[in-house]
Structure 1
């Protein structure tokens, strides 16, 4: 009788991932994060998804953007903000500091 392989992930996953794993004949061990664990887990997930977008092939970018969007929506809710509040804050920052449409890359700043 062969022993099964065990892979440790230790990360936040989408809600249906455990059922998808079980449907594949595997066993998923999960727990529900408490309030204190949730924001750090979501911010770690955001970094993970951003890195996946950075490395993605052009044809995979939309899916990675969708993952980032999903994490941002969850963070918005958990932190007690509405989508409208986030959009308004983004608008204010764009007015004060600009957006990214000019594609400016800051190489250096020299002080005298």
Structure 2
């Protein structure tokens, strides 16, 4: 039986080493910048879906995965995670956060 599994997705940097350490072989390549950016967007959606499906005890790990993708996206966009956090704080100061659990039904002019 052939043990080949096709993945064709962005993975964390150490995954090939982990596969090799377990006696497997990982066929990899380094993506071009535009391809990498697109793969990060795909990974963001994948990790968000995993967070939604995660059991309560798995939420922290899934949140960490989302944060890792956000950090990579920030870097690709020319920002640091600290800059993103600062921008989020400024936006929160101006427009509020989500802690109030407010659901907007409708507005009228």
Superposition TM-score tier, normalisation by shorter sequence: 0.7 to 0.9
Residue 8 of structure 1, CA deviation: 1.3
Structure 2 residues not aligned, in runs of 5+:
none
Normalised by the length of structure 2, the TM-score is: 0.88
Partner of 1:77: 75
* 1:1-112 correspondence runs (5 A): 3-106=1-104, 108-109=105-106
Normalised by the length of structure 1, the TM-score is: 0.86
Q: CA RMSD in A?
A: 1.7
Structure 1 residues not aligned, in runs of 5+:
none
Residue 110 of structure 1, CA deviation: 6.0
Kindly report structure 1 stretches of 4+ aligned residues shifted beyond 4 Å.
none
Residue 88 of structure 1, CA deviation: 2.1
> What is the count of residue pairs matched by the alignment?
109
* 1:54-92 residue CA offsets vs partner (Å, 9 max, x unmatched): 110111111111111111111111211123321221122
